[in-house]
Every structure is written in structure tokens, then in C-alpha cells.
Amino acid sequence: MKHIVILTENDLPTQWYNIIPDLPEPLPPPRDPKEGPSRVQNLPNLMIGECLKQEFSNENWIDIPGGILDLYLKAGRPRPLFRATNLEKRLDTPARLYYKGEFYSPTGSHKVNTALAQCWYAKQQGFERVTTETGAGQWGTALAYASAVTGLKCTVYWVRSVYNWKKDRLYFMKLLGADVHASPSPATEFGRSLYDKNHDHVGSLGIAISEGLEDSQKDPKATYALGSVLNHVLMHQTIIGLESQKQFEIFDDYPDLVISCLGGGSNFGGFALPFVGDVLKKGKKTKFLAAQSQVAPNLQGTYQYDFADYAEITPMLKMYTLGHKTDMLPIKGDGLRYHGCSPILSLLRHKGIIDTIAYPADERHVFENAQLFMETEGWLAAPESAYSICCAIDEALKCRETGEKKVIAFNISGHGFLDLPGYESVLGLRS
Amino acid sequence: MKHIVILTENDLPTQWYNIIPDLPEPLPPPRDPKEGPSRVQNLPNLMIGECLKQEFSNENWIDIPGGILDLYLKAGRPRPLFRATNLEKRLDTPARLYYKGEFYSPTGSHKVNTALAQCWYAKQQGFERVTTETGAGQWGTALAYASAVTGLKCTVYWVRSVYNWKKDRLYFMKLLGADVHASPSPATEFGRSLYDKNHDHVGSLGIAISEGLEDSQKDPKATYALGSVLNHVLMHQTIIGLESQKQFEIFDDYPDLVISCLGGGSNFGGFALPFVGDVLKKGKKTKFLAAQSQVAPNLQGTYQYDFADYAEITPMLKMYTLGHKTDMLPIKGDGLRYHGCSPILSLLRHKGIIDTIAYPADERHVFENAQLFMETEGWLAAPESAYSICCAIDEALKCRETGEKKVIAFNISGHGFLDLPGYESVLGLRS
């Protein structure tokens, strides 16, 4: 039995897949709210030029520039697709399980796939610095990495409540030369207005976004970079699914069910969209299932225009949303705590192509399944990726009941080496 | 320019390289001390049968059983060989630098290469459990992993002074189902004799070895596993160098200088021995350089028979040693703190084939070079691997002076995701 398919450097896809022209109906464009300044007209000031162009492109395939291909190779792409032979045996399931190994990422998550592209384009455009916000820290780490290897400076505004305890991630960003601020910070006008009143202000993603944007808008040599939700971000991530398709060909198999965790949608979209394209264009019958948390089951919200950020700086996007000011309980899979799902995936949900399942906030079932995966397959998954694993195992167990020989593909978007305290707190490993 | 060579699952070497018959003179065998019971005669009680056989084998090539090849594939082998294109540019060196990516290991270090083999053989021999000691924790983690995926139980005796602060590694072993004891522990007679007098006894590797051995010898279903120094361990690790040789062929290049860090010798041997074989048999002129710490420059010690362990349970081995009761200062590259070098590598040193360099105990230069590597190549190395990087950079800078277009190959034996506090404490990243 084949356990793994490894693609060589010569097999790296040279184009990203843009699903927009293949969608069953036109993607609703970003829109301005009724009041206030136009956010849509301000987009060119916020975004890297080439990314903005890609955001609205109707080309099906976008060439990946040679410089970005080089960066992908240096980051160790292509990444392997594994058959979960040991897990299948343990579950005694007739299903065939496959997982993609994004955990080989230099920063530990799939986020580098778009960070590298954005930094490369920013550099081409003459920028010398990128700014961003980060919550859980994965995106900030990925951008710090991409900035370092492309020769840009990087400034990260990091929600103070997380900044204060994720010391290892902070050291990681600092090793890469990034300038990291606990947000709200005294480094921006908006941040200062809050920081001066309370030096211990815990901050929020909305505040951190505002600081990152203010910083980049005041410096003509700086631009802002976004890590999820938007069309071009998902498109950069399709490198994951495109590689996986080549690997399934070599396995001589094809997924009946594609699973991944979903917060804003970048890893889910990156893995699933090429397979969705096969459904839309080639008549494949593959199903898609997003593994979410009950603290943020955004695909179970309402399909409407909403802001992408708490502070209402971005345009409104048509998406499944829980409301952009919704409070969400803390969970270890922090990257899944986002109020809205990317417009592309929201439309696909609206058309019945993507389904969703949400797991309880205590995360016990999720982490127990991640542990089972580790005991059998050996890989320590990021807390967010634990949701993908959990969902795949649950589906494989259903196949044991029904006898279905379903082919289940799931994405391990990152590793958990920096998240072991999270495993401990959910599973109680100390004793 | 080519940045990476990735081998596919079909390129995985199917034999290990045993250098013993190619050595310039016969390898001195293990020997008993003048007094006390025979350690040599006791070896069959201590070691896995197939490993003992391999330890004294004169076969040049040993077939890797299909079951172990499967395990290597599941652990993501083969691993890539990278050309350090960005680093070369930053250093402005005419040298060509290549590094092997053992950091893709599921537990973060090359130790899995022998852990998987030993567990597989132990299982074949009917054992149900493996025991071991660990100091820094890499070996314990690797054996916990290998036990989990082969279906063995695993008991780890972990030096208490390290056990107490490396919580993340403890959680990692526990997630894999291992039974982990702070040593000295109340679980063995020998451990209890120390533990009862002082519950906070900091322990030592010698004590932990004694506990692991006692445990396995009292249980006919258990056996003991060793992570370095011995011939069969280095042989299992040659998978690293054998893959690298295939990759150099595809790069159409060949190393003039092979570098790796050296504690007991398992990663150095695994990477270097196949190239040493080319020197001994094919007339290649490659040089070999071991990167060590001044706290444990064992290759700069004396070449004589010495015990492999503090407690004098093992036979005496002919090796370069600092003396088996030497105290060594703590360093972050804890895996390099060992008093003796493996007999094979010691003989090669004795014959002038391997050279050594030792870096100061403050580790600042080592970690600064690892940071430079991270800023350019993007990978976070384990503290031990930082020595390999440091040495390669220093050698590349010499080439800048001399103009030599030297080809330098180095091994990154593991990643540093669990070692970020070490980077912080040496480099002061907090500010």
C-alpha cells in the first residue's frame, strides 16, 4: 500500500487557480455602508496593487511569477500528501483517508503561501515595509518570515492579551527581525489614544487592524497585508489543492469528501477550491465539509453584507456572518474565531456546495481525535488543524457503520509545536 | 539556480551503509574493565537482538526491512536537500552551501531514524515495551513516537532537572502515550534508593540509564533502546547521507567539506559516513568537520577505552573521551554535552579523516549565525543544529577571503520550535 506521494521541485504548480469565473453566479462585489467615507474607493491605498488586481480578476489561471516560485521552493514546496494507513487500520474503517502536510511550513502554518506572494509583490511595487495585525499569531509569524526572506521590514500589531502570553511566537517573530507591538500601542495615533488611558488594555483584532492600517497609510514606503478572507488570499492558497490534485492522480484515487477547518477560509479555500472547480466544470460529485467551532460557526450565520473588521475600516462583503461585533469565547483553535466566512466560500455555501459542522467550545472531542491521529500517524497538528482531523475521523467512523468506501481528504494546515500548552489544558497531560 | 532537490517516495534508499568493513583499520571491539562483572557478555540482555547483530556486522550494506521503509515513508522520508541560495548571497561568498532538512522530522529531530528501526526490530522480537533514558529530551520524544506508531509501550526515565522545566516536551511524550518518569524515580529499585533520600534529586544521565536498564531487565517483555554512539545507531542514521548523495547527483555537485554538530555522533555519522565511504573507496578528497561545544569537545580529548555511561554499566569503548565522570557546564545545545565520541567516528578522527572545532560556552556566535540563517533561509534550527550552521557560515566566510569555490554541505538535524526560550536567553529577544 502506498503511504505517501511526494512531488519533486519540478512538479510545483506554476499557476494559481482563480475560481471566480467558474462560480455558479457572479460574486457580489464589496460595497460601501450607507454612511461615512467610501471604503471601496480607498482600497487602492490599503492594498498591494497586484493583489487588488487579482482580487477582481476574471482570469481562470494566474501565472505565479518566477520569483514567487523560487520562494515556494525555498519554503520546501511541494508538500507531501499522506495516506493515513495506520489511522484507517485503528478506526477499522473501509474509508480511504488522505491528508496534506502543510505542517512542513517554516513558520508552522499554511499562511506563508500568501505571505510570500504578497511580500514579493510589495517589493516589486517598491515598498520597503509591510504592516499587519495578528491575533493568534500565525499570520504575524508568516508575514515576518516572508518579509525576512524577501528583504522587507515588517511591523506587526499584536492583540495585547495574546502578545502577553505567547512568548515563543514573539521570539520567533523577533528572530526574523520583525518589529512587534502589543496593541493598542503608543506607536500609532489611534493606539496611543487607548494606550495612554490604560497601559494594560487587552486590545482586539479590530484595534490592531486600525493600527496596522494607520501605520502603513502614514508611510508611503509601507503597505498593508491581509492573511485571509479575500479572494486573492484564497487564490494564493490554491497551491495546496493544486498539488494535492497531482498527488491524487499518482495515488490513482480521487476524494469523495474534502474536509478542512474554517475560520476566515484561507486554508479551507486553498485546499478545497481546485476540487470545487472539478465539481463545477468536470461534473465531479465531491462533497465539501468545513470543520468549525461552535464559538464561531460563521457558515451557520446569515448571508448578508457585513464588515470584515470590528472597526468598520474595510468595505462590506457579502458573506455568511455572525455579525462583525459578535463576542466569541476563547478557544485553543484561536484561528477559527472569526465572525465571517470569505465571500467566495460563502457563495458556495449559499449554493449548497459546501456544508458545515461545528464542534463544542470545550474542544475535548477535537483534541482527543487529534491525539488519536498523533498516536497512529505521528504528526502533531495545530489546534485549528485538529478540527480537520476530528471531522475526518468522525466521517470515517460513519463509513464503518455504513460500509461505504468513501475517499476522505483533509488538510493539516499547520503543526502544533508551539501549541502544546493548549493540548495540555484540554486533555490534562500533566498527571 | 536550483534551490532544492526533493526525492520522491520511490527514491528512498533501501539499504543502510555499514562503514565497518571499509574502515582503514579494524574497529577496536568493546572491552570489559579489569574488575566487576562482564559487561560484554551481558550485552545480549541489554540490546535488541537484531541491533546487536548489526553492531558487529561486517556486511557493507544492510537491507532495510519493508516494515521499516514503510515507517520511514510515514515519517515523511526522503527529506529535501536545499541549496542555501539566499545565505550565499548575504555572505557574498563564492562557496556553494547545501543543507539537509532533517527538521521535517515528526518529533523535530533525526533521532526518529534509529528509533523507528529499533522499535520495529523490538516488536519483531516479541517485545511489548521499550525503555530508555533521556537528557535533553529529543531521544525520549523520538522513542515515544516510534513506540506509538509501531504499537509498543514506552517508558522514559528523564533526568529530573530537565524534566522539571521542559514541559512542552513532556506533553509531547504524553500525547504519544509514553510513561515518563522524572529520574531518579520511585519506579525502580536503584532510583528509589536515591529518590527516598531526596525527592528533589536533580538526577543525571547515568542514573537515568541505570533506571531504564533495571526496568527492562526485570521485565522479560521489555527491552532497552539507545539513541547514539553505537555502530548500529550510526548505521540507521546513514539514511540521511545516502539520500543526500542522491540529491547531490541531481544538483550535479559534490561536497568538498561535510559539516555537522557532534555530541555522541549519531547525526554527524548519519550524514557524513556515506561521504567518508567515498573517500575511503572512491578516492574522493572531501574533508569532514565536527562542530562541537567547548563544554564537551570530546574529539579533542584522548583516544582510549572508556565507559559510555557515568554509572559504568556499559562495556568500555575505544573512543575519544573527556572521561566518563567529567562535569560539563549547561548549554542550550544540550545534545552536544556528552563525554565521548562514537567508536567509528573516533577511529576516523584518529586516522586524520575527521577534524573538530569547538565553540565557546556562551553560544552567542552560534546563535547569531543561526539567526542569520533564519533571516535568509527561513528555517528555525535546533540549538544543536545551530552549531552546524555556525560552522558552515564561518567556513563560507573563509572562502570569501580566499576566493575558494568550496562546496559545503551541512546537516540541520532538527528544528527549534520547542527551543525558542533558548534562543531568547542567548540573544535577548525580549526587548
> Taking all residues of chain B, what is their mean pLDDT, rounded to a whole number?
96
- Across A387-397, average pLDDT: 98
The confidence score (pLDDT) of residue B431 equals 63
Residue B100, min C-alpha distance to chain A (Å): 12
Q: Within a domain: residue B94?
A: yes
CA dist., res. B189 & res. B248, Å (int): 51
**How many Å apart are CA B117 and CA B128, to the nearest integer?**
15
Cβ contacts below 8 Å, chain A against chain B, sum to 147
3-state secondary structure of B234: helix
Of A73, A174, A423, the CB nearest to B429: A174
Best of A97, A119, A380 to substitute, by most chain B Cβ atoms within 10 angstroms, is: A380
Percent of chain A beyond pLDDT 70?
100
User: Which residues in chain B (86-105) have CB-CB distances under 8 A to chain A?
Assistant: 86, 101, 104
Can you tell me the distance from the alpha carbon of B420 to that of B416, in angstroms, rounded to the nearest whole number? 6
| B 129-168 near A (Cβ less than 8 A) | 145, 148-149, 167-168
Q: Does B6 touch chain A (CB under 8 A)?
A: yes
The cell numbers describing B415, all together, are: 528544528
The x, y and z cell numbers of residue B260, run together, are: 555537522
Mean pLDDT within A177-190: 96
Contact call for residues B176 and B144 (beta carbons, < 8 A): yes
Report chain A's mean pLDDT, rounded to a whole number: 96
The residue segments making up the domain with residue A268 are 4-10+76-108+237-427
Q: If you search the block for the grid coordinates 505571505, which residue do you land on?
A: A115
CATH number at residue A339: 3.40.50.1100
A291 contacts A409 by C-beta, under 8 angstroms? no
Does residue A311 register a pLDDT over 80? no
Domain contains B369: yes
For residue A310, being part of any structural domain is answered with yes
A291 is written with which cell numbers?
Answer: 470543520
Cβ atoms of B144 and B130 within 8 Å: the answer is no
Tell me if B171 and A429 make a contact (CB, 8 A cut-off): yes
Average of per-residue pLDDT across B290-310: 95
Number of structural domains (chain B) is: 1
**Is residue B423 in a domain?**
yes
Report residue B127 as a C-alpha cell: 517485545
User: What is the predicted pLDDT for the residue at A15?
Assistant: 98
Find the mean pLDDT for residues B386-408.
Answer: 98
Most A CBs within 10 Å, among B102, B165, B420, B427, to test the A interface? B420
Query: Considering only A160-164, A405-409, B145-149, B295-299, which range has the smallest mean pLDDT?
Result: A160-164
User: ∠ CA A284-A290-A295 to the nearest 5 degrees?
Assistant: 165
CB contact under 8 A, A74 and B85: yes
DSSP-derived 3-state class of residue A17: strand
Q: Classify residue A409: in a domain, yes or no.
A: yes
In a domain, A388, yes or no: yes
A108 CB neighbours in chain B (<8 A) are 417
Closest Cβ opposite residue B378 in set A106, A371, A380: A106
Calpha distance A297→A328 (Å, rounded): 10
Name which of B73, B88, B119, B431 to mutate to probe chain A: the one with the most chain A Cβ atoms within 10 A of its Cβ: B73
CA gap B267, B114 in Å, rounded = 10
Whether residue A420 and residue B82 make contact (CB cut-off 8 A), yes or no, is no
* Cα separation, A139 vs A286, whole angstroms: 30
Output B311 or A184, whichever has higher pLDDT.
Answer: A184
Give the cell for residue B112.
526518529
Q: Are B85 and A76 a contacting pair at CB < 8 A?
A: no
Note whether residue A48 is domain-resident.
no
Give the nearest chain A residue to B371 (CA atoms).
A175
A-facing residues of B in 355-374 (CB < 8 A) are 371, 374
Smallest Cα distance from B44 to chain A, Å: 30
C-alpha cell of residue A86 = 495506520
Whether residue A137 is contained in a domain is answered as no
Run of H or E including B359: strand B354-359
Query: In this predicted structure, what is the pLDDT of residue A197?
Result: 96
Whether pLDDT at A353 is above 70: yes
Q: How far apart are CA B245 and CA B348, in angstroms?
A: 20
pLDDT digits (tens, 9 = 90+) for B313-368: 889 999 999 999 888 888 999 999 999 999 999 999 999 999 999 999 999 999 99
Q: Would you say residue B196 has pLDDT above 90?
A: yes
Q: Which chain A residues are closer than 8 Å to B417 by Cβ? A: 108, 168, 415, 417-418
Identify the residue among B174, B247, B426 best suited for mutation to test binding to A, counting A beta carbons within 10 A and taking the highest.
B174
Q: Do A8 and B3 touch (CB under 8 A)?
A: no
Q: What is the pLDDT of residue A431?
A: 63
Q: Which helix or strand (DSSP H or E) is residue B259 part of?
A: strand B257-261
In chain A the first and final C-alpha atoms are separated, in Å, by: 38
Nearest residue to B51 via CA among B13, B12, B18:
B18
Nearest to B230 by CA among B411, B56, B15: B56
Quote the minimal CA–CA distance from B254 to chain A in Å: 19
Q: Is the pLDDT of residue A393 over 70?
A: yes
Confidence of residue A430 (pLDDT cuts 50, 70, 90): confident
